[in-house]
Structure 1
Amino acid sequence: MPEAPSLPPPENLLRHTTSPYLLQHADNPVHWRPWGPEALAEARATGKPILLSVGYAACHWCHVMAHESFEDPETAALMNRLFVNIKVDREERPDIDALYMNALHLLGEQGGWPLTMFLTPEAEPFWGGTYFPPEPRWGRPSFRQVLLGVAEAYRKEGGKVAQNVAALKGALTRMAAATPGPLPIEATFNRVALGLVRATDAREGGLVGAPKFPNPPIFRFLWQMHHRLDQPACAEVVHLLLRRMSQGGIYDHLGGGYARYSVDAIWLVPHFEKMLYDNAQILELLALAHAGAPAPLYAARAAETVGWLEREMLTAGGAYASSLDADSEGEEGRFYVWTEAEVDALLPPEEVALFKATYDVTAQGNWEGKTILNRRRHPQRLSDDAEAILARCRRILFEARASRVPPGRDDKVLADWNGLVVAALARAAAVFDRPDWLAHARRAFQFVSETMCAPDGRLLHAWRAGRAGAAGLLEDHAAMARAALALHDTTGDRTYLERAATWAGIADRYFAAPEGGYYASAADATDVLIRGRSAVDNATPSGNGLMAEVQARLFLLTGDDRWRKAAERTIGAFAGHEGIAAMPTLLAAADLLAEGATVVVAGDPGHGTAQALARTALAHPDPALAVLRAPDPSALPAGHPAHGKGPVGGRPAAYVCRAGTCSLPATDPTTLRRALARRAAPLGDEVATTA
């Protein structure tokens, strides 16, 4: 007889991992296993169903369920007896999280974390939920009741389980299928953009209702549509969102940075965790909005957010950590909130009244008897003298807050989230004229591209404590390729362009689907039941949307038609989906491909005029453009519309090239700004046929 496979010891194996979230559970009496082939093999060998628990380090309700259930010896004993228990950090394995979250939605349940799913030994989902209390409450059964009920159903009702498995697997497979259609046209952009505008809160900004999320992919698309459609409302909703959030409680008025969402409809009470991806995307939105309508508020919030990134999120390698927890000392928000007595004791008597009136500090507080600092009721800038007093008061409170126990930090480095930060820093550096921010971007890019690179050239997804936490995913290669192109635009360094093209090629090799678009997981992933493929944006832009943008930008910069065809294939794989309104990043890429401009700066890049022209292009508010420096325009590929178009009278000149034609040369920033303003109008008699 063949030997039975050796099984891992009956103990918690999470201590061998690097994920801060998994390490939070390393001392649980549960015999946790990290997700992977070994855990799945154990389930097959024992025949036990799998209890899959997914969360992340900054998740408040994950902490609650851990304290109530996973730290309880009796509950743990039940879990160990009935299931193979697997923990997943959703930030390390977003592909696994997305697959089983989709299964939960198909069961008719609202998603969220902690995600609790029950799987067959073959990792097939058959039932699930999110948080379960230790005792029956709120109409939910207790977690122990759930454990016993699911185990009994799995043992005695195999037919029903098999029916659920078949239905869910079929639906998940269909969700990963292509939905081809023609490329979006003007009517599509108009319908989606105006539909999203109607869904916004006309008073408070953001989407209607509570809880309120920033939803950066939606509002970045609307900003781009303002330029495409010449619809002022598309820009107005972006400005309203940024103003309300930036003066609300969701923003940390002492330390900078935005929380993940507000639990109410007025941006007052945040869910206090701070995520790297939110702040990256909001920073880019602030830069775009400031480029379109300069405002001291945008400049201040951008500088404060970058300050927070450098002070609290920077890792030893120069890249950025993932998140800050919502909790400290076991309480949500404890680090951030104040009582009136604390404020009175710390601030100068002659200044405290102004601060309290401006920042909503009262005896009763505005949240559970405490105060969340905000300027919702007094958002307008006061006199310079008053603002100086407020700044001094903020510094005093910030220094006092530093003595508190801080929230935990998840210091793992994620390639895709760092890609979002790099692109945002590059954009903001140009708009706000902050070369030091560009240096930050280059430093983070270098760490990810060099340290988080596998021998075959693929990126790793996660890195911590000198070890890779997970293999690279589509989002890593797409976000980092986009970051490389942002750095190429800003610096003119061609190696960034080449790196972006390399990563786009790697995506084709390892992630491409036969019918178009890309799977989230690589072709050689051995622990994924169904490789997901989607262009739907969530809190972060979809990998397919980002890859379509990369391909469109590569086409604009190189003139190489293979990139145009690649972008069309990626966009076309999802263009027939009835829910295309949920794919704003993909739609923005389609607009970029159809109407995006390349500003070609011909001549010596070191010449003052060339630098001024490049700065003008980089600070333009329309995100649908790329910047290319051409010291020798005759060296541009023959297929590029600016091939051979050079300096004028020995001085550098800029050409705005769109849809295969280029404008007449602009030799000063004013002329270039005028050419860029003609976003959707045909170039007509401004087409340049000679240099």
Structure 2
Amino acid sequence: MKILFIISILLLSLSAKEFSNELQFESSPYLLSHKNNPVHWMAWNDKAFAKAKRENKAIFLSLGYSTCHWCHVMEKESFSNKELAKVFNKYFVCIKVDREEMPHLDALYQEVYLKMRHHSGGWPLSLFMTPNKEVFYAATYIPAHKQSYSEGLDTLLEKLGTKYQKNDTAFEEELAAIQKVINAEVVYETSQETDISVNTLSESLKENFDDIYSGFGSGRKFPETSKLSLMMDLAQINSDEELEDYSYEMLDVMALRGLYDQVEGGFFRYTVDAAWEIPHFEKMLYDQAELIPLYVRAYLKTGKKLYKDVVVETIAMLDKRYVKNDLYYSASDADTNHEEGAYFIFSQKEMMGTRTEYTENFEDKMHLNIYENQRPENFERMRKILLKVRSKREYPFIDKKINTAWNALMIEALYSASIIDKKYKKKADKTLKALTDLMFKNYDLYHQTIIGMTPKQKGLLEDYSFFIGALIAGYEVDYDKDKLDFAEYLLNHANAKFYKKGVWYLSDDNLDIKAGLIDKYYDSPLSKMLQNIINIASLRASFRYEKLALATLEPQVDALKFKQSDVPALAKAYLMQMLKVTTLKSKKENLLKHKKEIQKINYPYVLTKEEKYDDYLACTIRLCYSKDKNLKTVIKAINSKRRW
């Protein structure tokens, strides 16, 4: 009997390990979620490519992340399918990448997909390539079996696998043609060129604005914070009431419709419809971090309670769900137990329990939308009832990676919010210290890790860009010289690591991936770095940094002329350089005493710096143009300064 019991235990153990693959040795929650797939997954490394060459197999590269709904779908229906796994393993060396671990690799292959398919990609991103990394087929989600919109993996895998192994003349010619497309430099047509000015940038935003539902585009709606931020800048610079109205309209719609979690606070990643009603229920740290400063800015300008409430509620939601050891987790899933939105939506019966006239505002009787420009009077009572319903449910999976870039964005957001409540300054300082202690080792930043584990992946351009931005924001709150010194150190270190022969790269490894300019999910790291260089040049009155800013900006001007709507963070940097950043200088106590007045200056590109002056000075990098004991006089000079 004892022998039978031992045999049973051994069989169970063997069964549990039957499909273990090399991802079991990784730390990423996303990679670990695939460790028991029958697909023989490997991580991105030299070993995987050597194996493919040795066995004459093509590479199947799958990029995704842990809170991606369609990544879960593909894992469940295809990567867990034993029959499909046999075909995967027969013809391919399969590599799984967490795009949050390797955003530079994701950026590279999203660009490859764009060139091959002529439209933007997404996740999961599915690529078939040679062991020499020559892509010959690109897709996003691929169904297990044929659908009206796509061939299924059940036929596609063998077709692509045999095509590679056959390697006939037709395949070689097709491969060469695809590589020519992928490797082609972008050439802009002169007929598409637009002059760069405050007016042309303003008109570009107006043309792309959805004046029916608000926001940008006519399909799925994302926050597109870099466009909204630029729109707010231009409204101030040009006293443009139309752009200002668009800005507040978009902030209102995002805060009151389906993009915002009306019950617990915080923004979902996007809505699946143009009217901002039906969300995709992921919550990403970077979205919260980039939206908070915009709502702070709007609140200071208008005093509208809704904007302040959004800031307070969003930070409270993050503190409740996302924080450990003063650091912020990366994201939460849309799904609970494989059902999208299960935690967030409500049945008609649950909704009727609120007994309010606003019951009809639930999309399909499931998700709250408010179709007015403010919350109803009974909103708090309704929220408490729905919170009670949710309290009995399982919260979606939270990806507990600590991402340096995203935590830095959140630190900057908290410093921004400290003008509303000083407690956020303390919170920002704690997170800054915790992030520095964890991720700054041997004079280098690191990219990400799990709490309790030593970070191993060296920092990327985005980590340096957003960390520097957080330090500059922190300096402007308390004038701690150490913050500015650290920002300057990281800038010089980033310059040495990522800037080579006039080109910025996303990493300093052997991938040689050039930094792009398009603001995809958050600000382009290159554009953010350019803003940092301009700001530090202004704070230090440094011609050396100004020269670096100009050297970085000059090669990007064509992109700005031809793709204005895609590169708003670059446009902001261009305006900062061309119109000039003003640094307002005075004694620390003067600057702190009048912080709210300074925040309300109508020119968007103003920094503050502690000096030993009783007076107030307004200076660009090359000259001071206003000096007075009366702050209002100097503010008037700043607001009237127009250089375009």
2:350 maps to 1:342: yes
Deviation digits for residues 569-604 of structure 1 (CA, Å, limit 9, x no counterpart)? 11112112332442111121121123244343323x
2:337 maps to 1:329: yes
**Offset of 1:558 from its aligned partner?**
0.5
Aligned equivalents of 2:147, 2:385: Cα separation in 1: 43
For residues 27-176 of structure 1, the aligned pairs below 5 Å read 27-108=36-117, 110=119, 111-175=121-185
For residues 212-291 of structure 1, the aligned pairs below 5 Å read 212-291=221-300
| Root-mean-square deviation (Å) | 2.4
For residues 195-594 of structure 1, the aligned pairs below 5 Å read 195-314=204-323, 316-345=324-353, 347=354, 352-356=355-359, 360-361=361-362, 366-367=363-364, 370-376=365-371, 378-382=372-376, 386=377, 389-430=378-419, 432=420, 434-455=421-442, 457-465=443-451, 466-468=453-455, 470-514=457-501, 516-522=502-508, 525-526=509-510, 528=511, 530-577=512-559, 578-594=562-578
* TM-score, normalised with respect to structure 1: 0.85
Aligned equivalents of 2:194, 2:486: Cα separation in 1: 31
Deviation digits for residues 627-662 of structure 1 (CA, Å, limit 9, x no counterpart)? 10113xxxxxxxxxxxxxx32xxxxx3222236333
Q: Give 1:625's match in structure 2, choosing from 598, 606, 609.
A: 606
Letter matched to residue 67 of structure 2 = A
Aligned equivalents of 1:396, 1:467: Cα separation in 2: 43
Aligned equivalents of 1:48, 1:511: Cα separation in 2: 34
Deviation digits for residues 539-596 of structure 1 (CA, Å, limit 9, x no counterpart)? 2111110111000001110001011011111111211233244211112112112324
Alpha carbons 2:538, 2:621 under 8 Å: kept: no
**Offset of 1:615 from its aligned partner?**
4.2
**Offset of 1:667 from its aligned partner?**
3.7
Aligned equivalents of 1:397, 1:66: Cα separation in 2: 32
Deviation digits for residues 228-248 of structure 1 (CA, Å, limit 9, x no counterpart)? 333222222211111111100
**Offset of 1:156 from its aligned partner?**
2.0
Aligned equivalents of 1:178, 1:618: Cα separation in 2: 41
Aligned equivalents of 1:24, 1:56: Cα separation in 2: 10
Q: 1:628 to 1:164 in 2, by over 3 A?
A: farther
- The corresponding residue for 1:635 is none
Deviation digits for residues 192-219 of structure 1 (CA, Å, limit 9, x no counterpart)? 3311211111132101311111111111
Structure 2, unmatched stretches of 5+, are 1-17
Alpha carbons 2:77, 2:144 under 8 Å: kept: yes
Aligned equivalents of 2:115, 2:88: Cα separation in 1: 25
Alpha carbons 1:227, 1:679 under 8 Å: kept: no
Alpha carbons 2:63, 2:106 under 8 Å: kept: yes
Alpha carbons 2:515, 2:525 under 8 Å: kept: no
Q: 1:560 to 1:338 in 2, by over 3 A?
A: same
Aligned equivalents of 1:595, 1:189: Cα separation in 2: 10
Aligned equivalents of 1:91, 1:558: Cα separation in 2: 34
Alpha carbons 1:599, 1:654 under 8 Å: kept: no
Alpha carbons 2:231, 2:244 under 8 Å: kept: yes
Alpha carbons 1:30, 1:76 under 8 Å: kept: yes
Q: Secondary structure at the match of 1:406?
A: coil
- The corresponding residue for 2:623 is 661
Alpha carbons 1:257, 1:304 under 8 Å: kept: yes
Q: Give the stretch that moved more between structures: 75-84 or 102-111.
A: 102-111
Aligned equivalents of 2:161, 2:474: Cα separation in 1: 53
Q: Secondary structure at the match of 2:499?
A: coil
**Offset of 1:178 from its aligned partner?**
11
Q: 1:109 to 1:83 in 2, by over 3 A?
A: farther
Letter matched to residue 275 of structure 2 = I
Letter matched to residue 542 of structure 1 = S
Alpha carbons 2:439, 2:445 under 8 Å: kept: yes
Deviation digits for residues 84-109 of structure 1 (CA, Å, limit 9, x no counterpart)? 11001111111111111211121125
Q: 1:189 to 1:170 in 2, by over 3 A?
A: farther
Q: Secondary structure at the match of 1:140?
A: coil
Aligned equivalents of 2:391, 2:366: Cα separation in 1: 17
Letter matched to residue 489 of structure 1 = E
Deviation digits for residues 333-377 of structure 1 (CA, Å, limit 9, x no counterpart)? 1101112311334x4xxxx224536xx14xxxx23xx4201112x
Aligned length: 620
Q: Give the stretch that moved more between structures: 247-256 or 218-227.
A: 218-227
Aligned equivalents of 1:622, 1:307: Cα separation in 2: 31
**Offset of 1:294 from its aligned partner?**
2.2
Alpha carbons 2:617, 2:624 under 8 Å: kept: yes
The alignment-based identity, stated in percent, is: 27
Aligned equivalents of 1:610, 1:218: Cα separation in 2: 30
Letter matched to residue 460 of structure 1 = Y
Q: Secondary structure at the match of 1:146?
A: helix
Alpha carbons 2:116, 2:181 under 8 Å: kept: no
**Offset of 1:46 from its aligned partner?**
2.5
Alpha carbons 2:265, 2:317 under 8 Å: kept: yes
Alpha carbons 2:503, 2:514 under 8 Å: kept: no
- The corresponding residue for 1:643 is none
Deviation digits for residues 396-437 of structure 1 (CA, Å, limit 9, x no counterpart)? 32133122011111110111112221212212222x2x1111
- State the structure with bigger RCO (CA 8 A, min sep 6), 1 or 2: 1
Q: 1:448 to 1:43 in 2, by over 3 A?
A: farther
Aligned equivalents of 2:520, 2:300: Cα separation in 1: 26
Aligned equivalents of 2:600, 2:433: Cα separation in 1: 24
Alpha carbons 1:291, 1:620 under 8 Å: kept: no
